[in-house]
Amino acid sequence: MKIIEWLSDEMTRQLILPPMVAGLGVVLLCAVLSVLVVVKRMAFVGQGVAHSAFGGIGLASVISVLLSAPAWAGHGSVFELVVVVAFCVLTALGMASVAERRGGAVQVDTGIGLFLVASMALGALLVEAARQIASAKGIPAATQPWESLLFGSILNASWSDALAALSIGSLVLLTLFLLRRGMLFYVTDESAAEAFGLPVKLYRTALMVLLAIATVVAMRLTGVVLSSALLVLPGAAALKLSRRLGVVMLLACVLGVLGVLLGLTLSVQFNVQAGPCVVLVLTAFFGLSLLKPARIAPTAPTALAASGAAGESQAISPR
């Protein structure tokens, strides 16, 4: 296999190891969040935040050409990352504010859809504006090819990209660990959490911000369109295999790691894009998880079973 040959050779090993490390850092972050996303039924929110990155990329491109495209503001720079993260976080906060207004003039899914399409449209216009400004000033435009934006370029990741993915992922996971008790209460039963005096607004906002940060980091692996898949598929597959929270989290991480490794292997072997390969492998894992026979519910009522509500968010055990 080509992947074994690449890992055996010193020169090619230095090319494939950074993408592997970056991919593993991203997928571990997204796998943990994916459990919360699926339980809370926030898959559409993940898509909205992912697509809002278009607006951030366009804004970063315009600022870069207005500053005459300095090296520190080019494609892949820390400046671009900060601008995109800030834009996605603001979009996520906007979605969170819509979610708070239940029974208002705008339904939650409608509001998220509006943020999604508006951000994509704004991003497309800003990228085109950046190219026109750069052409008028006679400087190169710091814009990425659309294919790279849509589907990612993980195989081009460097050790600095891998370090950034691991660092940001560690900070997000540490934040989740510190908020774990209240966050789990919020995602499993928001109404009860609010009744017990939990600051629901704080946890909703925190989760949206963490999703925004994870989405921007994941874009390097799978691009804008497919990054939301990493925030859904590992958790969805794991929840089909177990209902114990600790086991589900572990399974989601294992499935995510296997998905990245197998996806990169297929990408190298057949010389195709890595992002779609990773997503298709994770989709296959979810398909296989559906083959597990459904367990018969116990006759003795439990706190969650007695509620009679269906779906993953009402069928997970905290043990």
What are the tens digits of pLDDT across the range 250-289? 999 999 999 999 999 998 889 888 888 998 999 999 999 9
**R_g of the chain, CA atoms, integer Å:** 21
The pLDDT, as a whole number, for residue 73 is 66
Q: How far apart are CA 37 and CA 164, in angstroms?
A: 23
| Pick from 253, 209, 225, 189: nearest CA to 95 | 209
The pLDDT, as a whole number, for residue 68 is 78
Residue 309 has pLDDT above 50, yes or no: no
The DSSP H or E segment spanning 58 is helix 43-66
User: What architecture (CATH level 2) is domain 2-292?
Assistant: Orthogonal Bundle (1.10)
Summarize the confidence of residues 164-169 as an average pLDDT. 90
Summarize the confidence of residues 178-200 as an average pLDDT. 93
The pLDDT, as a whole number, for residue 135 is 87
Compare 281 and 297 and report the one with higher pLDDT.
281
- Would you state the structure tokens that stand for residue 121, as one six-digit string? 């449209």
Percent of the chain with pLDDT over 70: 84
Minimum mean pLDDT range among 20-34, 55-69, 164-178, 287-301: 287-301
The pLDDT, as a whole number, for residue 216 is 86
The pLDDT, as a whole number, for residue 317 is 55
Residue 292 has pLDDT above 90, yes or no: no
Q: What's the Cα-to-Cα distance from 52 to each of 63, 127, 203, rounded to whole Å? A: 17, 14, 21
| Pick from 177, 258, 205, 220: nearest CA to 96 | 205
Q: Is the pTM of this model over 0.75?
A: yes
Summarize the confidence of residues 292-318 as an average pLDDT. 48
Q: What's the Cα-to-Cα distance from 138 to each of 64, 72, 134, 204, rounded to whole Å? A: 14, 19, 6, 46
The pLDDT, as a whole number, for residue 138 is 84
Q: Are 285 and 259 in contact (CB under 8 A)?
A: yes
What are the tens digits of pLDDT across the range 237-248? 999 999 898 899
Q: Is the Cα torsion angle 272, 276, 279, 285 positive or negative in sign?
A: negative
- Please name the amino acid found at residue 46: G
The pLDDT, as a whole number, for residue 312 is 45
What are the tens digits of pLDDT across the range 102-153? 655 567 778 888 898 999 899 989 989 988 998 888 887 666 666 677 777 7
- Would you state the structure tokens that stand for residue 96, as one six-digit string? 């969170």
Return the half-sphere exposure (C-beta side, CA atoms, 13 A cut-off) of residue 258.
16
Summarize the confidence of residues 162-185 as an average pLDDT. 93
Query: What confidence tier does 77 reach under pLDDT thresholds 50, 70, 90?
Result: confident
Q: What's the Cα-to-Cα distance from 165 to each of 23, 72, 73, 168, 203, rounded to whole Å? A: 8, 19, 19, 5, 24
Return the half-sphere exposure (C-beta side, CA atoms, 13 A cut-off) of residue 206.
20
The pLDDT, as a whole number, for residue 69 is 66
| Pick from 179, 181, 198, 172: nearest CA to 31 | 172
Minimum mean pLDDT range among 43-47, 71-75, 191-195, 258-262: 71-75
3-state secondary structure 183-219: HHHHHHCHHHHHHCCCCHHHHHHHHHHHHHHHHHHHH
The pLDDT, as a whole number, for residue 300 is 40
Q: How far apart are CA 212 and CA 37, in angstroms?
A: 12
Q: How far apart are CA 274 and CA 265, in angstroms?
A: 9
- Would you state the structure tokens that stand for residue 202, as one six-digit string? 């704080």
Query: What confidence tier does 96 reach under pLDDT thresholds 50, 70, 90?
Result: confident
The DSSP H or E segment spanning 261 is helix 245-270
Residue 28 has pLDDT above 80, yes or no: yes
Mean pLDDT across the chain, nearest whole number? 83
| Pick from 169, 217, 206, 190: nearest CA to 92 | 206
User: Per-domain residue ranges for the chain?
Assistant: 2-292
- Please name the amino acid found at residue 263: G
The pLDDT, as a whole number, for residue 206 is 93
The pLDDT, as a whole number, for residue 310 is 39
Q: Are 221 and 282 in contact (CB under 8 A)?
A: no
